[in-house]
């Protein structure tokens, strides 16, 4: 059985994951408007991944006898100054999610909920990967610049995400 404090914290994290999914979809729409289909593809896959994270938490709460209570999701930003600004926001957001997962893990430790700690360990490792991927793209964009052939090559590289 999931304790009330932990159930509340999981519900908040479910909201954050769905909000992340919505944010990345908005970012994908921005990339589409900038004629960057590869960036949009990468961000749409990120949208699906974040929704998957939310559903993994949802399923866990249900399996532990808890109740999922969905919360409102705010409107994400719709405009970004540039591809670099876009991925600065991606990295900033992933760092925020990492901090929230860490806080959730601390709650599981306080509650001595070992099953939740095991689940959250997976999320902690996932966040390390998420931050590293966002940082790599950001740093490559900074080196390549935001115009011309380098940006086109970067767009094509991002279009290959998920293709093996």
Q: Over the stretch 120-145, which tens digit does the pLDDT of each residue have?
A: 999 999 999 999 999 999 999 999 88
Residue 95 has pLDDT above 70, yes or no: yes
- What pLDDT band is residue 161 in, cutting at 50, 70 and 90? confident
Nearest to 150 by CA among 91, 83, 92, 80: 83
Quick: pLDDT tens for 10-53: 999 999 999 999 999 999 999 999 999 999 999 999 999 999 99
As a residue count, the chain comes to 164
Domain 4-159 has CATH 1.20.1260.10: yes
Please compute, for residue 1, the number of CA atoms within 13 A of its CA located in the half-sphere on the CB side. 2
pLDDT of residue 164: 63
- Say what the pTM is: 0.94
For the chain, which residues make up each domain, given as ranges?
4-159
* Residues 130 and 80: beta-carbon distance below 8 Å: no
């Amino acid at each position: 059985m999931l304790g009330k404090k932990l159930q509340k914290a999981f519900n908040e994290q479910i909201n954050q994951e769905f909000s992340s999914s919505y944010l990345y979809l908005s970012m994908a729409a921005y990339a589409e408007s900038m004629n960057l289909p590869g960036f949009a593809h990468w961000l749409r896959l990120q949208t699906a991944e974040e929704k998957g994270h939310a559903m993994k938490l949802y399923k866990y709460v249900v399996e532990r006898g808890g109740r999922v209570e969905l919360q409102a999701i705010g409107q994400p930003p719709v405009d970004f100054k540039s591809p670099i600004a876009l991925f600065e926001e991606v990295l900033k957001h992933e760092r925020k999610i990492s901090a929230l997962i860490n806080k959730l893990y601390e709650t599981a430790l306080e509650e001595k909920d070992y099953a939740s700690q095991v689940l959250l360990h997976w999320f902690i490792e996932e966040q390390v990967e998420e931050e590293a991927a966002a940082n790599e793209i950001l740093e490559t964009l900074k080196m390549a610049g935001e115009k011309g052939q380098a940006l086109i090559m970067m767009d094509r590289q991002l279009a290959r995400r998920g293709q093996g």
